[in-house]
Chains A and B, each alone.
Chain A
Amino acid sequence: MADNESLGNIGGRTLSKPPTPGDIFFDKSFRFLTRAFTWATIFLLAFIVYKIGGEALPAFSDLGINFLFTSAWDSSEDLYGLLPQIWGTLYSSFLALILGGFFGITIAIFITQDFLPYQIEITLKNIIELLAAIPSVVYGLWGIYVLVPLIRPFANFLHEYLGWIPFFSTRLSGLGLLPAALVLSIMILPTVAAISQDAFKAIPQKTKEAAFGMGTTRWEAILLVLLPTASGGIFGALVLGFGRALGETMALAMLIGSMSTVTLSVLSPADTIAALLANTFPEADRGLETGALMYAACVLLLITLLVNIAGAVIVAKTTQGGDKR
């Protein structure tokens, strides 16, 4: 009797039984459902590209490829050109990448290379991750009322004494590329730092020990051995950070000053595709202007998809290599 109970046999009935037809039906439909949603993920991304492409098509046939190389945005004349916005998007992201990339990689080194006691290391890591949690519209507000007044004297000093350099050829009248790129670099720093940390952690401990065994100082080991070994992952981190900067909208819409000019000066106002969409779309006429904006959205979508896919492939390739070693 005791034996039977331990086998789940209670009063002649067993607890285990074959699945009923109901169970089998439920199982089949549940599995079908999960499969359907997996397909839906693929379908969703394809549909986004298809739908935005479709909305852009009328404008594409009206404005043609010239849209990408002219620089007017005038809804009363129905003249549209995206060159300044494309330039602004790439330029501001590039500036942000230089700054955010440098800080991000430095912090990744600082966190992973045993500079700090464990407790402080974790605290610093959390602070950097919280930077990414602050909504971009809050950075925009902070940029307008804190950052711009703070950097304006410094920016005008640069213009006065170094105005002959094209980068400082205009005055900072308030909003402009410099505050926008600064905020953008703060926003991509956590992305770059996090992925670079993974790249450093993927290096086998022995590589570092071998370097130290050869008698290197800490920084010789970092610069000559660890950084080259992690370079693939770090490059991927920079590409993904760049992708994030390209699509960032609100902070730029609030800080860049929205002016359709192609300029090298970091103190001048400019515009980006995302900022153009945010600022113009709600009030656009439902005719060619909306079409032109859809065309612009399509261009932005394609650029960011390409950059993000490239970044993901690089990161995947390099981490795979790390596992095999």
Chain B
Amino acid sequence: MSQTGLEHPKLERQPMEPRALKSIILSAITIVCAITACIPLFSVLIMLFYRGGKRLTFQLFYTLPPGAFDSAGVGGFGNAILGTAFMVGIAGLISVPFGILAAIYLAELDPYSKISEIARFCAKTMTGLPSIIAGVFAYAIVVLVMGHYSAWAGGIALSLLMIPTVMLTAEEAIKMVPNPMREAAYGMGCTPAQSLIKVILPVAMPGIITGVVLAVARAAGETAPLLFTALFSESWLSPNDPTASLAVLIYNWSSSPYENLIELAWAASLILVVLVFILNILSRTIGGKIKR
């Protein structure tokens, strides 16, 4: 109805116009999707605190698993906590030096050579290695050779999963070290090894630790590599024999007919998840400090 006879569209937003309506509906669907995706996390956490929290006492940490016919409320899994700590410790002792040394070569000494390219590719491929394959491999090289299940085999299986994580995050951390620092070290007449150990690694340390902590968090929750390397045990830790771990305990007792054991499996899950979350938050705080 304009004086000039030209029609012009209304310039205000028209919510009922088909195009705008479509946009609003799609946004609503997206919000619903995002909320739905958050439900599992909260459901898992609520159930862990509800069912596992009931059994959470100090007794759990220093007693052995109960017999099938023990009365409810008896027993704990001190041996499994110790076993998990021991095997993750072995895995760390293998994978941390392995990962960091290889990362130094990849990031600093010869980043663009053929072998670095191939090694980086291998490490990336290994991050996608199914965890059960790590178990089968450790079974073949340790259990079959030693002739019995042991904590060592479990630790070696876990280390296979930690190596690529440690290596790739350490490589990134070393690459982030500002160039002037390297140049200053070389300018002072440092050999490459001296500049690495005295200047570059200390600066990259927070990033490296982030990777190690994440790898430990992942390894602590892994079950499949331990199923037929460490097996399970009802007694205290002895590294040359089958060894209990929190993760295998949850698996074994989850389908148990005894209510007492199922309750303990929930309590073990609660402890495991709280531990993994603490490690994750820890790695985030360390990682957050680098960026500032």
Q: Which residues of A contact B (CB under 8 A)?
A: 16-19, 23-24, 26-27, 30-31, 33-42, 44-45, 48, 51-52, 55, 102-103, 106-107, 109-110, 115, 124, 126-131, 133-142, 144-146, 186, 189, 217-220, 240, 243-244, 246-250, 253-254, 274, 277-278, 281-282, 293-294, 297, 300-301, 304-305, 307-309, 311-312
Contact = CB atoms under 8 A, between A and B. Distances in A.
Nearest to B113: A38
B250 A138 contact: yes
A109 B137 contact: no
Contacts of A36: 101
A219 B27 CA distance: 8
A294 B136 contact: yes
Given A35-B105, A38-B102, A254-B251, A247 B41 contact: no
B223 A135 contact: yes
B193 interface: yes
Interface string B213-228: 0000100111110011
B54 interface: no
A48 B132 CA distance: 12
A278 B224 contact: yes
Interface in B5-44: 19-20, 22-23, 26-27, 29-31, 33-34, 36-38, 40-41, 43-44
Q: Which 8 A-B pairs have the closest CB atoms?
A: A247-B130, A135-B221, A308-B128, A27-B191, A34-B105, A30-B193, A249-B224, A27-B193
B101 A37 contact: yes
A24 B251 contact: no
B148 interface: no
B119 interface: yes
Contacts of A30: 192-193, 196-197
A27 B194 CA distance: 7
A220 B23 contact: yes
A278 B223 CA distance: 10
Name A's interface SS: helix
Contacts of A38: 102, 105-106, 115-116, 119
B200 interface: no
A281 B254 CA distance: 19
Contacts of B93: none
B220 to A, nearest CB: 8
10 contacts: A48-B133, A48-B137, A110-B33, A137-B269, A138-B48, A186-B40, A274-B132, A278-B132, A278-B227, A312-B121
Contacts of B220: 135
B247 interface: yes
Interface stretch (B64-72, B204-212, B270-278): B270-278
Residue among B34, B255, B266 with the highest chain A CB neighbour number at 10 A: B34
Contacts of A24: 191
Contacts of A186: 40
A297 B37 contact: no
B75 to A, nearest CB: 18
B223 A41 contact: no
Contact of B19 (A140, A217, A240): A217
Given A133-B277, A137-B251, A301-B130, 19 more contacts: A23-B193, A23-B194, A24-B191, A34-B109, A40-B98, A42-B118, A45-B125, A48-B160, A106-B34, A126-B284, A134-B273, A140-B250, A217-B19, A219-B22, A244-B128, A246-B130, A254-B255, A300-B132, A312-B124
Contacts of B36: 103
B140 interface: yes
Contact of A103 (B37, B222, B231): B37
A40 B196 CA distance: 21
Interface residues of B, number: 87
B129 A247 contact: yes
B224 A250 contact: yes
Contacts of A18: 189
Nearest to A309: B125
A45 B122 contact: yes
A107 B33 contact: yes
Nearest to A135: B221
A247 B188 contact: no
A37 B122 contact: no
Nearest to B47: A146
Given A31-B192, A146-B47, A247-B130, A133 B22 contact: no
A58 B190 CA distance: 55
Nearest to B248: A137
B131 interface: yes
Given A103-B36, A141-B250, A240-B128, A130 B109 contact: no
A317 to B, nearest CB: 14
A229 B196 CA distance: 41
Contact of B130 (A55, A135, A145, A249): A249
B125 A41 contact: no
B123 interface: yes
B280 interface: yes
Given A30-B196, A133-B280, A278-B227, A51 B137 contact: yes
A33 B247 CA distance: 35
A110 B276 contact: no
Residue among A126, A217, A309 with the highest chain B CB neighbour number at 10 A: A217
Contact of A247 (B132, B272, B284): B132
B163 interface: yes
